[in-house]
Structure 1
Amino acid sequence: MYAVVGVWEMDPARGEAQQSALEGIVAGVSQLPGLVKGYWSDCEDPARSHTFIVFSDREAALAFADSVRGNIANQARSGVRNISLDIVAVKATT
């Protein structure tokens, strides 16, 4: 398995709009080929968020990461900025 791990800077003043957009994002991601599980999180710092989206294979993870990187303009309009986006091999689960 492979995961796409993201760190995000969020505009706290746009939290309500971001939550609304997240519902659509989750619905879209849930339909992606190879998806195993997705996690979207809030930090104690309201200006930061993390995502951990797991795929069954590297190709699916790469395709998803490319899609996220290609969506920078929409992210910016929602008050979201990607700090990092890494593709990692999942070594163990419980």
Structure 2
Amino acid sequence: MFWYDHNLSGWGWFAMSASMILFWGVIITLGVLFVRALTRTSNTGTTADTPSAHTPSTDPEELLAERFARGEIDEDEYHRRLTVLRGRTGDGPRLSKS
């Protein structure tokens, strides 16, 4: 009735160990994916108080102010560029300094 004599050979232990590692790996992976899905923030449900970081602002003065706030440009460069932006009429090409 018992064909294999209740003893596991080396391959039996290996298969049992590998299947247990695979089983727990799948369980842990599913748990991590489940937690990440629950804690993920969606960019579609933003409110007016919290604008999305991915929406580009089209106003050049706002872009310049953001660069100044991040510290990418200093105060002198900010004022110089702001003067150029406000002084530009948009009718012709900008003139460069000579």
TM-score w.r.t. the length of structure 2 is 0.24
The structure carrying a bigger strand percent of its residues is 1
TM-score w.r.t. the length of structure 1 is 0.25
The structure carrying a bigger helix percent of its residues is 2
Higher alpha-carbon Rg? 2
Higher relative contact order, chain-length normalized (CA < 8 Å, sep 6+): 1
